[in-house]
Amino acid sequence: MTFQPTSGGLPLQLLRLVSPSQPVGAFAYSRGLEWAVHDRTVRDEATARDWIFRLIEHSYAVCDAALFLRMMHALEAEDRAAFLKADAWLSAARESKEVELEDKQMGASMLTVLRDLGVSSAKSFTTVKLTYPAVFALAAVNWKIAPADALRGLLWSAVEGQVSAAIRLVPLGHTAGQRLLIAAAEVIERAARKAEMTGDDEIGNAAPAMAMASAWHETQYSRLFRS
């Protein structure tokens, strides 16, 4: 299987894959950020930046992103067992019921899109509830996006989703949101490099503040988001 090289320019299919217009319902989730705003832990641009960037670099990079790379490589090697093992590992690492439901719902929605688009590999997972990163990997391999590019695209999607939620929740102005996205480029690159260097025995999710925020969000009195 031939992938587009990272140095050969940005794969245009990746732009479509990370677009907010993807009908996967990402806009409905905040992954605990709504409770953090309710608690005033996140209350302005600076605290939103700290919350989002630290989660990406110190939690997402060594769990979601590291396992995503293993899924990509397993799909390249046509190793279904290794792909499903990495997906199950990621699913088991979810911090709360809400986060797990968010991940599986977005994964199911993306899988439906891929099936409707005629992606043959998506049709072989009709009885499996995959995580969103797993289905993102399926799409990336189908459109021959290099693993390094796909990884950075997934990280961008995670950051953009959180910034979008912060704009609505804090609330932040759109200019503040753009400042966060501009600053995110460096954080995403560091997170990607960390994911690429993470060994199997280093994979793990340690984000207690987000885990507690997500759990408390389940019983929050007034909510705009599903997580």
Answer yes or no: CATH 1.10.4190.10 is held by domain 28-217: yes
Count of CB atoms within 10 A of residue 61's CB? 25
Say what the alpha-carbon torsion angle 114, 115, 120, 121 is, to the nearest 10 degrees: 60
Rg (CA), the chain: 17
What type of residue is 186?
E
Q: What does the domain layout of the chain look like in residue ranges?
A: 28-217
Instruction: Output the six-digit token pair for 201.
Output: 């025995």
**How many other CB atoms are found less than 10 A from the CB of residue 48?**
26
Cα gap 167→8, rounded to integer Å:
34
Task: Please tell me the predicted confidence (pLDDT) of residue 48.
Answer: 97
In a 3-state reduction of DSSP, which class is residue 157? helix
Instruction: Return d(Cα 208, Cα 151) in angstroms, integer.
Output: 24
| Residue 175: burial class (beta carbons within 10 Å; 0-12, 13-18, 19+) | exposed
Which single residue is written with the structure tokens 């990163």? 133
Q: What is the pLDDT along the chain (227 residues), one digit of tens a residue?
A: 444 444 455 688 899 899 888 889 888 888 889 989 999 999 999 999 999 999 999 999 999 999 999 999 999 999 999 999 999 999 999 888 888 888 999 999 999 999 999 999 998 887 789 999 999 999 999 999 999 999 999 999 999 999 999 999 999 999 999 999 999 999 999 999 999 999 999 999 878 888 888 887 778 777 788 76
Kindly report the number of other CB atoms within 10 A of residue 21's CB atom.
6
